Chain A
Amino acid sequence: MPHRTPTATEVRMFVTEAETTSFQPPTPLTRRMPITNKMEFVPANAYDGIPMYSILNRNGKLADGVEEPKLDKDLLVRMYTKMVQMNIIDQIMYESQRQGRISFYMTHYGEEGVLIGSAAALDDKDLVFVQYREYGVLLWRNFSVNQTMQQCYSTMYDYGKGRQMPIHYGSTEQHFVTVSSTLATQMPQAVGTAYAYKLAQKKQCVACYFGDGAASEGDAHASFNFAGVLGTPIIFICRNNGYAISTPTHEQYSCDGVAARGPSYGLTTIRVDGQDILAMYLAVQEARRFVLEQQKPVLIEAMTYRIGHHSTSDDSTAYRSVDEVRTWDEHAHPITRLRQYLLDRGYWSEQQDKDIKAAFKKEVLQNIKEVEKVPKPPISDLFTDVYKDMPTHLKEQMTYMLNHVQHYKDGYPVDLFAKEKS
């Protein structure tokens, strides 16, 4: 067709009836694009905030007009006890770090509902990629307290062979990909795994957890966009706990949180009250049904609050008020809410509460006692697993180091480490 300048009517047709004209853009937009003759910029605050799905109020009562969710008593009790167990492990391990027994720790205070609620709704074989504050998923999947301690104390029985900092858990049995400190790097990886699952027609999905701070990384953008474009069965779960170390969310983004970004990437999205474990459970359950059926991604933004310090290397009173923390701890705690819900229904008693807490405490302390006596891994584990098979130059370096340590025993804490396998 010879080139000519389109008339005004045609230009308008180009927009309104793109499919019927030869002036169609090479790749059509994925959404309908209405036309306007008025110059109107879309204001930055054009859209109202995405509402937060919540069914359990602060007092553990169902919100007005909400139908009783049909959840099994055993499931509810298990969710509750796992949150409590997690909380106790956090308390003791935090103290353990304060006493210098382990080098580092991160608690999950306030976010127990997000973790246990979502983990309970996933299938235990769905592969989970996490940031680092997601121990609850492991615990839900029966990762042993003993193995938890072996990791934090870097013993020879740690699956990670003592190479990473405490709380960098990983387990194939629990389908929980090993934690790394780099923020958001797990996000495009999780999309890749979900794509592989799709190709293999595996009946599992992938869940990917991250914080509101990590969502600012370029990898978060990459993952949302890849997931949207390639269509992968993945559930993104954002823990929006108000802070990234000292940075409050108003210094993290100026949009409507993380959820608002979802639809713009083609992600089906919901915002959930992370302090309401029932809402969390129901939302993830529905998300899982959706991603498996549609083979498309879902984004869930769980609104929560980081009650604890960022880590044992952080004193959060330097940047936020103790009152603010207390308010959340006392009035919006996921554990308190669910306990009240259970008590109201006669599923749980104060005595059971006391007993189970004592039992959990005892279990952790016993394990610590045992694990503290376990040697660190053999020194040669410093050199293995860099590659699948050890290359020549690493063999040389390992031989050198083992000989060196033999000769300079006094200079190194050799007694703490396991003997080399002959």
Chain B
Amino acid sequence: MSLTSFRFTVRALLRKKVSPRKLRWEQAASSCEMQKRSAGHFTFVPDTPSSSDGETARLNLYQAITNALDLTLSSDPTAVIFGEDVAFGGVFRCTVGLQEKYGKHRVFNTPLCEQGIAGFGIGMAVAGATAVAEMQFADYIYPAFDQLVNEAAKYRYRSGGLFNCGGLTVRAPCGAVGHGALYHSQSPEAFFAHVPGLRIVMPRGPIQAKGLLRACVQNQDPCIFFEPKILYRLAVEQVPLKDYTLPLDKAQVLQEGDDITLLGWGTQVHVLREVAQMVQDKLNASCELIDLCTLMPWDKETVANSVRKTGRLLVAHEAPLTAGLGAEIAAAIQEECFLSLEAPVQRVTGFDTPFPHIFEPFYLPDKWRCFDAIKKMMNY
């Protein structure tokens, strides 16, 4: 049993004074109640683990991350976790309990310096260790841009394979949070998707976060793992307790449909899920919903296969429009699926402005903007 779920259970047992059997029942019941939690611009719908996944625990996204980190530290003696304020548990609670369990040498604070954190992590990975570095917010990853782009991404290539920093994973909370304004809301994935040598990953929920983070940590390329911070507490699922990974180079088709393909990642997947329902109800059209999961290298085959079937593609992301990842996908898909397309590929994204404070509801590519774009595409 993982540290997190263990503490959760113990605390619940102490507080409620219930039998473990009853507790499990209660957990299941409350998880039903929690099926839908709204944060304004989207509704989170949990995934259901398959029955073959074994024992599960009700974890939110940050707990699933802790669980993945816990498994990393327990299974790999070279693994370390570091960054600003990770020792006491992290400003988003992702590393709670890990220092107590694994010691100050393996889970530790660094000085407040992102370029140092990235460089330090690269160096640990060069030595063959597993380095999981945290950037407190994706908005503050830019001081480390040089280390990530010029160093981490090019280490293996430039040395002819003599040296590499494949053991490095950089975690960073990203995306809109309701009131984060310019520097607590950004989605910088496109900056990094332009860099050969990096893998960029963004999960949409706890089950996926655990499996993809474990995959990033084990993968022998440097990975940047963006965690949609609005989901940290809000997204709750029955997460399998066993150690598992999900494939890094595969998009997931979440819902099959015939009339239009909806593509997103992170929180936006939940927006699109709602949009698909609206389209079904109001336009009587069926949407195929795809979570890209890995943003670089991205799974063109799955997206193209879907578009060949539906003839329409809408890509939606929180990041600004111009040169966003949607541009790359739109260009690649029009090249790949030119004869199948019945309407131009549409991108519904953040605007080409900094991410604003009070105007957030007007900035985000919410369900109404996505729905409107689809309506126009269906009538094209």
Contacts and interface: CB of A to CB of B under 8 A. Distances in A.
A222 B133 CA distance: 15
B124 A196 contact: yes
B120 A192 contact: yes
A199 interface: yes
Contact of B163 (A178, A190, A197, A226): A178
Nearest to A393: B297
A391 B157 CA distance: 14
A189 B123 contact: yes
A392 B297 contact: yes
B203 interface: no
Contact count band on A:
35 or more
A323 interface: no
B119 to A, nearest CB: 3
Interface in B116-139: 116, 118-129, 131
B107 to A, nearest CB: 12
Nearest to B112: A225
B301 A392 contact: yes
Nearest to A229: B111
Contacts of A275: none
A131 to B, nearest CB: 14
Contacts of B197: 386-387
Nearest to A388: B220
B157 A185 contact: no
B160 interface: yes
A171 interface: yes
A384 B159 CA distance: 11
A199 B78 contact: yes
Nearest to B198: A387
A236 interface: no
A159 B160 contact: yes
B126 A193 contact: yes
B129 A158 contact: no
Interface string A180-191: 101001011111
Given A192-B120, A192-B124, A229-B111, A388 B164 contact: yes
Contacts of A221: 113
Nearest to B147: A185
A192, A197, A219 — most chain B CB neighbours (10 Å)? A192
A222 B162 contact: no
Contacts of B157: 163, 385-386
Contacts of B116: 188, 191, 219, 222-223, 225-226
B151 interface: yes
B249 interface: yes
B115 A219 contact: yes
Interface in A61-78: none
Nearest to A226: B116
B120 A188 contact: yes
B162 A170 contact: yes
Contact of B120 (A182, A189, A218, A384): A189
A192 B150 contact: no
A229 B82 CA distance: 13
B111 A172 contact: no
B169 to A, nearest CB: 14
A257 B128 CA distance: 34
A161 interface: yes
B249 A391 contact: yes
Contacts of A393: 297, 300
B300 A392 contact: yes
A344 B162 CA distance: 44
Contacts of A127: 127
A230 interface: yes
Interface string B236-249: 00000000000001
A378 interface: no
Contacts of A189: 119-120, 122-123, 126, 151
B217 to A, nearest CB: 14
B143 interface: yes
B288 interface: no
A195 interface: yes
A189 B150 CA distance: 13
A230 B129 CA distance: 16
B15 interface: no
Interface string A247-279: 000000000000000000000000000000000
A188 B117 CA distance: 8
Contacts of B159: 159-160, 170, 177-178
Given A188-B147, A191-B123, A178 B129 contact: no
A417 B221 CA distance: 28
A226 B112 CA distance: 10
Interface string A214-233: 00001101110110011000
B41 interface: no
Contacts of A188: 115-116, 118-120, 122-123, 147
B155 to A, nearest CB: 8
Interface string B151-170: 10011111111111010000
A164 interface: yes
B108, B147, B197 — most chain A CB neighbours (10 Å)? B147
A387 B161 CA distance: 10
B121, B166, B196 — most chain A CB neighbours (10 Å)? B196
A386 B158 CA distance: 9
A200 interface: yes
A82 interface: no
Contacts of B199: 387
A177 B119 contact: no
B105 interface: yes
B231 interface: no
A158 B115 contact: no
B158 A168 contact: yes
Contacts of A159: 159-160, 162
Contacts of B196: 386, 394
Contact of A388 (B111, B156, B301): B156
Interface in B154-210: 154-164, 166, 196-197, 199
A194 B119 CA distance: 12
Given A187-B119, A192-B126, A196-B128, A225 B113 contact: yes
A392 B162 CA distance: 23
B146 A182 contact: yes
17 contacts: A159-B159, A160-B160, A161-B160, A178-B160, A188-B122, A189-B122, A191-B120, A192-B120, A192-B126, A195-B120, A196-B124, A199-B105, A200-B129, A222-B116, A226-B113, A385-B157, A387-B156
Interface of A: 127, 129, 158-161, 163-164, 168, 170-172, 177-178, 180, 182, 185, 187-197, 199-200, 218-219, 221-223, 225-226, 229-230, 384-388, 391-394
Which 3 pairs between the two chains have the least Cβ-Cβ distance? A192-B123, A188-B119, A222-B116
Interface of B: 78, 80, 105-106, 108, 110-111, 113, 115-116, 118-129, 131, 143, 146-147, 150-151, 154-164, 166, 196-197, 199, 220-221, 249, 297, 300-301
